[in-house]
Amino acid sequence: MPLPLEGIRVVEIAQNLAGPYAAEILGHMGADVVKVERPEGGDDARGWGPPFWRGISPAYLAMNANKRGITVDLKDPQDVAWLADYAARADVLIQNLRPGVVEALGLGAEALRARNPRLVYCSLRAFGIAGPMRLRPGYEPMVQAFSGLMMMNGDEGGPPTRIGTSILDFGTGMWAVIGTLAALAQRQRTGRGCVVDTSLLETGLAWLTGHFASYRVSGEVPQRHRTGSNRVVPFQGFETRTGPLVVAAGNDRLFTKLAQVLGRPEWADDPRFQTNAARFTHKDVLLPEIEAILLTGSKGEWIDRLEAAGIPCAPIHTMPEVLAHEQTRATGMVQPVPGAPDLELMGLPILFDGERPALRRAPPALGEHDGEIRGAAPA
């Protein structure tokens, strides 16, 4: 299957998660991605374990498939000069080094785009390009905390909780890709690339857009709702006799059906529960009653009854459960890694003409393609 970005050359001068994830997405879509690492140890994420696979952390493996890898000593002027020449011939450069580092090395947007105006230069930062914190580095938990995102997560009345995946790194990588693709489309019209900037903080603020709108409308600080919603009731997880499930009765019609399934049809006519606004006001009464009823049966029994009534619901899966489910297998998201029969990774969550791009390359070993790339004549 021809891939959409075949023929696009990407240079990645990045490490950890956000920048490598952006470059990996482009690689999944067919771009030739060359990952640049320092000779001593490479990307810090290589060591983010245990566990390890052949001495490499899962954090590195998950972000670096479909790439070639080279080493460049950024303390060596000759190496830096070579990298500047190589990067200036690319279509896209992705970098997330500490603010100011690439500029000091002569690898900043202004320097490289002066040599190649068609270059799309994408930077991923912690706090953005302006403001008093623009030069500060930052990691996921710091920015989850700073952005206010962490304060939205956890039990009502309990402590703020980190979201269980690196949502700001992955989200920032996705924004970087969206911006890069838009810039490449613009280049088709104008012949010129541009500078794309995004950051973990801006991603965190974007993920708060619904909470922000509520706060601006009401003036009330949003509260935490565990698995629930700050707008819709019931729309959350509940315990059953054999484990938790989510019930998402997202409108009054569905709540009427839910009341019938739970054996409490009178709830539909109870003024405390007739509308979503009323249910939200009286959720401290309603939600414990729903859970008390659900605890009388098994998760599977309730899911069968809820689905038969057309009420959206889902089991709260563990990792082994979701991977074993036939729906997960049917998506084809879990893919074998070429040359590594004992390793599987997640693929790209996009289909092109009904087909998901396959993993074409395993994550590169440190300096694996030095001879192939650095020994080659300029393209």
Give the residue numbers spanning the domain of 38.
Answer: 9-207+331-374
Q: Are residues 178 and 301 in the same domain?
A: no
Q: Does position 361 have pLDDT exceeding 80, yes or no? A: yes
Task: Report the percent of the chain where pLDDT is more than 70.
Answer: 99
Q: Are residues 107 and 167 in the same domain?
A: yes
| 92-132 per-position pLDDT tens digit | 999 999 999 999 999 999 999 999 999 999 999 999 999 99
Residue 379 is predicted with a pLDDT of: 42
Q: Which of 225, 227, 201 is nearest to 148 (CA)?
A: 201
- Residue 86, in any domain of the structure: yes
Residue 158 is predicted with a pLDDT of: 85
Residues 208, 206: Cα–Cα separation, whole Å: 5
Residue 196 is predicted with a pLDDT of: 98
Catalytic residues: 169
- For 104, the enclosing helix (H) or strand (E) is helix 101-104
Q: Whole-model pTM?
A: 0.92
Q: Are residues 135 and 272 in the same domain?
A: no
Q: Are residues 292 and 356 in the same domain?
A: no
Q: Are residues 38 and 183 in the same domain?
A: yes
pLDDT average, residue stretch 335-344: 94
Residue 376 is predicted with a pLDDT of: 53
CATH number of the domain within which 36 lies: 3.40.50.10540
Q: Are residues 160 and 308 in the same domain?
A: no
Terminal C-alpha separation, the chain: 25
Q: Are residues 254 and 203 in the same domain?
A: no
Q: Are residues 75 and 38 in the same domain?
A: yes
- Residue 250, in any domain of the structure: yes
Q: Does position 279 have pLDDT exceeding 80, yes or no? A: yes
With H, G, I as helix, E, B as strand and everything else as coil, classify residue 195.
strand
The mean pLDDT value of the chain amounts to 95
Tokens of 65: 């498939």
Q: Are residues 188 and 337 in the same domain?
A: yes
Contact 18, 173 (CB under 8 A): yes
